[in-house]
Amino acid sequence: MSITSLLSGALGFGTAPLGNMFRAIPEEEAAATVEAAWDQGIRYFDTAPFYGAGLAEIRLGDVLARHPRDQYTLSTKVGRVVLDELEDTATREMGEKGGLFEHGRPNKVVNDYSADATLRSIEDSLTRLRTDRLDIVWVHDIAQDFYGDEWLARYESARTGAFRVLTRLREEGVIKAWGLGVNRVEPLELTLALDEPRPDAFLLAGRYTLLDHDRALQRLLPEAARQDVDVVVGGPYSSGILAGGQHFEYQKAPAEIIDKVTRIKKLTERHGIGIKAAALQFSLAHPATVAAIPGATRPSRIAEDVAALDEKIPAAFWQDLRDERLIAATAPVPAG
């Protein structure tokens, strides 16, 4: 099924920053940001046990518990189980994302995509989120950026474990949809080539943005559209560099990325538009993409996202991006 029936709009809220990504966020600030999202009309919230070892789920659940459950859509992820045992967050193995959540909870996080771990992960998430049901469940991070050369083995574990469990839960009506939530296109291409099981959607983070979209355009998005598998865009601001931040791919942005962003900013200034508007609307312009879920840790950022979605962007801006080879010639762009 398409997940569009579960979404009230194209803008959702990604909660990775609420897991103390990059910095320790005060509780009041985290709660106020989620409330701001609600007040701005956002009704799709995405989270994961991985974000701060359950911290993001706890913070999101504390706020959403104040609102009627049937008025919002909730997704979380499986593939990591959070234990009561504690560990040093600075030495946690995170592939290419080292130190990402070193300010999160010190609970030990175990990577496990088996059937039993999937069921345990869901039960634990329900407790942290203070709810009795999930709408969408993503299988998290079975890709090269976390597992290197071992990613295919991890993928096979998920295929025979998590995929089958989530398919059964969907058939039983326990969840409404499932898919993969990753930062690479290869696991999604591989999944689309399977005869079964069949996911409903994908959450693709950082791979369909103004700064990085060529690979997704080649095969993934056309095939997803052909198979009616919806794509939710995570990280439309490329870890923050397209929204005034300094990070790209969850690390300090390299010189070539800073240069590219500078060139894009010059064009946005020439046309009198915001770079956040350009980034967000570009990610949503492809027929396969149904929503974008930027993250935020300050209430003011939510209003900026809503305004960015509605901002009018002239067709000449997109043509300038193409002329300067800042976007692919084949990339769909919003109507002028």
Per-residue tokens: 195? 């005869």
Q: What's residue 236's pLDDT?
A: 96
Please give the positions annotated as active site.
46, 51, 77
Q: What's residue 165's pLDDT?
A: 98
Chain length of the chain: 336
Per-residue tokens: 77? 């992820």
Is-contact 60 129, C-beta < 8 A?
Answer: yes
Rounded to the nearest 10°, the torsion over CA 178, 128, 185, 241 is 140
> Which amino acid would we find at residue 8?
S
Q: What's residue 311's pLDDT?
A: 97
Q: What's residue 336's pLDDT?
A: 63
Count of other CB atoms within 10 angstroms of residue 49: 26
Q: What's residue 246's pLDDT?
A: 85
In whole angstroms, what is the distance from residue 242 CA to residue 237 CA?
5
In whole angstroms, what is the distance from residue 268 CA to residue 307 CA?
15
Count Cα neighbours of 102 within 13 Å in the Cβ-side half-sphere.
11
pTM: 0.96
Q: What's the start-to-end Cα distance of the chain, in Å?
A: 31
Per-residue tokens: 21? 């990504």
Closest listed residue to residue 179, CA positions, set 131, 121, 111, 231? 231
Could you report the average pLDDT of every consecutive run of 10 residues in the chain (336 residues)? 92 96 94 98 98 97 98 98 92 74 94 98 98 98 96 98 98 98 98 95 97 97 97 94 86 91 97 97 98 94 96 97 97 88
